[in-house]
């Protein structure tokens, strides 16, 4: 127990909490979007994330030839390497998400069977993905080269604004805003929301259900892939089972905010990131997931549908 940390390092904890929280937000979109449309937990999303982290390592080592450790590059080369890694991570996660939808959900949905069957087949997909990764990497952790020099941009109120943290915060925010616009304004976004409100009626209105569901998985996968790129930029190592803890936390974030609700996922992710960072500082990092779950239970006691479960019902995906 060390409460003095809370006052002495408050702003720096806030900053790292928000950057972790934004990674959670992006992953939790993979859960919340799919849940909004199918009312099913996308259990394989943690492995979709894992695929993204491996893609990032693969691109960054492949393009630069640096394997691990600090090997900064500068200027134009840095920008295009990072951008390329981001795009490849997003695409590989997105494609994995499409594959998961196709193999684990589509057939079962057509049969209209019980929800647990899809859950188990998704768990099966997630075992297949993580085990393939384990066999391919021989269970060894994969390190990402540190291409972006983690220099400080300046100190503000005791918090060290590092380049990578700022990059994560800014780009994740932009991505979330873009997604929110897309879901609320675009034609396809409207179709997604229609399906989430009522599958039957959406079908009657001429919406191609399979296409909308695929697109939802794809978008969730793209966002999760972006999260995996940011995760690798800040934390730099991955393993075949990296997705488990992060996926669990992201799913908790989605539930905390009210699952199926985009903005709920945003607030859930940020508050979870802050909560984890603060409780790790106060109680020791081994207890952070315990704190998170205790808070989750307490929140659900008061608001059984999550914090924004009903309040922003209209804007749910």
Partner 1 sequence: MNLKNINLRDKGAALWESWDRPRRTIFVIALIGLVILMPFAGNFSFTSILDTPIASYQDVLVYPIGMFVLMALGLNIVVGKSGLLDLGYVAFFAIGAYTQAILGTKTHLNAWEILPIGMGLAMLSGVLLGLPTLRLRGDYLAIVTLGFGEIVRIVTLNISITGGTNGIARIPGPPEIAGLKFDIMHPVNYFWLVFGMILLVIWMIRRLSVRRPGRAWEAIRQDEDVAMLMGVATLRYKIWSFSIGAAVGGAAGVIYAAKVLVIAPQMFTFNVSVLILSCIVFGGMGNMWGVVFGGVILAYIPERIRFITNARQLVFGLVLVVIMNLRPDGLLPRKKREKIKAKRAVDNV
Q: By CB under 8 A, name the binding residues for partner 1.
A: 35, 41, 103-104, 107-108, 111, 113-114, 116-121, 123-128, 131-132, 135, 244, 248, 251-252, 255, 259, 286-287, 289-290, 292-294, 296-297, 300-301, 304-306
- Please say which residue, 251 or 308, places its beta carbon nearer to partner 1: 251
- Please say which residue, 117 or 205, places its beta carbon nearer to partner 1: 117
Any idea which residue has 């307490």 for tokens? 298
16: three-class secondary structure by DSSP? helix
- Please say which residue, 111 or 155, places its beta carbon nearer to partner 1: 111
- Give me the least distance between CB of 116 and partner 1, in Å please: 5
- Please say which residue, 212 or 254, places its beta carbon nearer to partner 1: 254
CA distance 221 to 269: 17
- Give me the least distance between CB of 52 and partner 1, in Å please: 19
CA distance 77 to 83: 10
Structure-token pair, residue 244: 């488990």
- Give me the least distance between CB of 253 and partner 1, in Å please: 11
Sign of torsion, CA 259 262 268 272? positive
The CA-based angle 45-19-179, given to 5 degrees, is 55
Contacts of 205 (CB under 8 A, 6+ apart): 194
- Please say which residue, 66 or 303, places its beta carbon nearer to partner 1: 303
Backbone torsion region of residue 70, taken as left when φ is above 0, otherwise alpha when ψ lies between -120 and 50, otherwise beta: beta
- Give me the least distance between CB of 215 and partner 1, in Å please: 22
- Give me the least distance between CB of 98 and partner 1, in Å please: 15
- Please say which residue, 204 or 302, places its beta carbon nearer to partner 1: 302
- Give me the least distance between CB of 78 and partner 1, in Å please: 37
- Please say which residue, 163 or 300, places its beta carbon nearer to partner 1: 300
- Give me the least distance between CB of 288 and partner 1, in Å please: 9
The contacts found for 127-136 with CB under 8 angstroms, 24 or more apart, are 129/44, 129/47, 129/48, 129/50, 129/51, 129/96, 130/47, 130/50, 130/240, 130/241, 130/243, 131/240, 133/47, 133/50, 133/51, 133/54, 133/240, 134/240, 134/241
Nearest to 259 by CA among 292, 296, 218, 210: 296
């Amino acid at each position: 127990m060390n409460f003095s940390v809370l006052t002495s390092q408050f702003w720096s904890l806030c900053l790292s909490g928000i950057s972790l929280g934004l990674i959670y937000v992006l992953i939790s979109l993979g859960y919340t979007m799919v849940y909004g449309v199918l009312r099913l937990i996308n259990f394989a999303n943690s492995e979709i994330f894992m695929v993204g982290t491996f893609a990032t390592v693969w691109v960054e080592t492949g393009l630069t030839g640096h394997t691990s450790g600090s090997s900064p590059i500068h200027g134009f080369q840095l920008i295009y390497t990072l951008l390329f890694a981001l795009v490849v991570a997003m695409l590989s996660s997105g494609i994995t998400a499409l594959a998961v939808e196709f193999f684990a959900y589509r057939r079962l949905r057509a049969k209209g069977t019980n929800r647990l069957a899809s859950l188990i087949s998704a768990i099966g997909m997630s075992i297949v993905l993580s085990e393939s990764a384990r066999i391919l990497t021989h269970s060894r952790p994969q390190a990402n080269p540190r291409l972006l020099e983690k220099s400080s941009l300046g100190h503000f109120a005791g918090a060290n604004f590092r380049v990578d943290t700022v990059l994560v915060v800014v780009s994740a925010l932009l991505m979330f805003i873009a997604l929110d616009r897309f879901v609320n304004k675009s034609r396809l976004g409207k179709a997604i929301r229609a399906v989430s409100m009522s599958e039957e009626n959406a079908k009657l209105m001429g919406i191609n259900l399979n296409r909308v569901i695929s697109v939802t998985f794809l978008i969730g996968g793209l966002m999760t892939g972006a999260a995996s790129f940011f995760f690798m930029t800040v934390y730099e190592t991955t393993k075949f089972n990296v997705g488990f803890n992060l996926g669990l936390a992201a799913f908790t974030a989605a539930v905390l905010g009210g699952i199926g609700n985009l903005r709920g996922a945003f607030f859930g992710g940020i508050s979870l990131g802050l909560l984890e960072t603060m409780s790790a500082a106060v109680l020791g990092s081994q207890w952070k997931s315990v704190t998170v779950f205790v808070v989750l239970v307490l929140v659900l006691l008061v608001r059984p549908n999550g914090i924004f479960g009903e309040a922003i019902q209209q804007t749910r995906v």
